[in-house]
Chain A
């Protein structure tokens, strides 16, 4: 069985659980329990262990999706997830600048533990208070457009949008893996990738 493991991470409320639920072929396994900190004020339940979703697309081939704990504490689960992942998606709410700090913290945590391909998914981009994609990437610590990870707008509740984001991540993974190889992979065209 060949399995690709993707971690879906981001600050509380960015849409991680929805993202996995939207694409998973199985009922998402979640180990939600009642939140006990300030998170409870605006979300009665948040993921403190992790969400797990699966996508079989052929014989003995599957994509596994793991959602990181929603609360901003990095425990053994985070460490285990990132060490076993092939790539990750960072989801950030475009209209919540107060989350950009937490997103930066997550990025630094990830970067210092694993060097794997990533994608930034910006949710709620249609909100009137949403910051433009370029501004969010800058706020996340990417001042140069030449050294940025790929980024897409994501509606975590829409299957086509989630598929688009996943495809962009897979393409980023393929580019990363074969960038120095003549054995390049033939890409399918998915729109919306920055």
Chain B
């Protein structure tokens, strides 16, 4: 399966939710077409590759040469590249190189965590600053075991971190929940994420009845700030937006004014059988 699009159409947060909820395995490629805020924490590259395994992020690179993890280890001064390559020849297939190096005693757990932080946890949230980019998710892309530490990160946590870092929300303004909408919790049980103070305040007001603008008024905050927080909750699957009914538009007219007075009647068995027979005949005639 390959799916493509632009982040201006389907945002990175929505894409991460898609991959996490679908427990997808494969490679997400992002090629920026418009960069946004200064992205010093993100290496300059023409493409960013994020690898998923059963919905979790397992590696991130800016090339497909399978040598970035080696270079990173060498950069820290822990092992020479020649040593890593010798050891890598002994690495069993479908085994993360980082984990293998740990089992060989060449690296320890703390070093793996530092590598994963530099490879995934620090740079990926900054991908959210890309204003627009082309993306492709390839479910048939093989996992890059030579780039994997063996550690994983939740795309939802990364999304929360990325959206909290974001200063310029312009590309996401048309994706925010409407001020008149209510947001309804989708959670049963405990909160799956640690919330900031402002997020927690909003969360406490999400009762399925208050609109976003009403929550903003109660917290004495701007509607936009509440929209941003609710958007964060939406893309990590904590809530869903339920649109409100807009005020009556006097220009709209109905061709069937009597519809509102119609009763809701049960449809009979014979009606459905007759309709299906009719449709079958219509299909054969088409």
Contact = CB atoms under 8 A, between A and B. Distances in A.
Interface of A: 2-5, 29-31, 33, 48-50, 52, 55, 57-58, 61, 63, 66, 69, 73-81, 83-84, 86, 96-98, 100-101, 104-105, 108-109, 112, 129, 131-132, 134-135, 138-139, 141, 143, 158-160, 163-164, 166-167, 170-171, 173-174, 177-178, 183, 185-188, 190
Given A101-B175, A171-B276, A75 B248 contact: yes
Contacts of A81: 259
A160 B267 contact: no
A143 B22 contact: yes
Contacts of A104: 240
Given A50-B255, A77-B252, A84-B262, A108 B10 contact: no
A112 B279 contact: no
B276 A170 contact: yes
Interface of B: 1, 3-5, 8-10, 14, 18, 21-23, 175, 184, 240-249, 251-256, 259-260, 262, 264-265, 267-269, 271-280, 282-283, 286
A99 B96 CA distance: 38
A164 B280 CA distance: 8
A170 B245 contact: no
A54 B18 CA distance: 38
A13 to B, nearest CB: 14
B159 to A, nearest CB: 15
Nearest to B182: A112
Given A2-B268, A58-B278, A84-B260, A131 B3 contact: yes
A66 B256 CA distance: 10
B9 A98 contact: yes
Contact of B274 (A48, A61, A158): A61
A73 B10 CA distance: 20
B246 A74 contact: yes
Contacts of B277: 188
B244 A108 contact: no
A163 B279 contact: yes
B246 A177 contact: no
B243 A105 contact: yes
A134 B271 CA distance: 32
Q: When A and B form their complex, which 8 residue pairs have the shortest distance between CB atoms, in order from nearest? A: A98-B9, A57-B278, A160-B286, A97-B10, A29-B255, A143-B21, A159-B286, A163-B283
Nearest to B283: A163
Contacts of B265: 2-3
A92 to B, nearest CB: 13
A98 B274 contact: no
A187 B242 CA distance: 35
A31 B253 contact: yes
Contact of A135 (B3, B242, B280): B3
A73 B253 CA distance: 15
B274 A58 contact: yes
Given A73-B246, A131-B3, A174 B252 contact: no
Given A49-B255, A96-B9, A129-B5, 10 more contacts: A58-B278, A75-B245, A76-B245, A80-B259, A100-B10, A101-B10, A141-B240, A163-B279, A188-B279, A190-B283
B252 A4 contact: no
B177 to A, nearest CB: 8
Contact of A74 (B245, B268, B271): B245
Given A61-B271, A100-B10, A49 B252 contact: yes
Contacts of A100: 10, 14
Contacts of A2: 265, 267-268, 271
Contacts of A78: 245
A85 B184 CA distance: 24
B283 A167 contact: yes
A80 B260 contact: yes
Contacts of B246: 73-75
Given A78-B245, A112-B242, A48 B252 contact: yes
Nearest to B139: A135
A89 B21 CA distance: 24
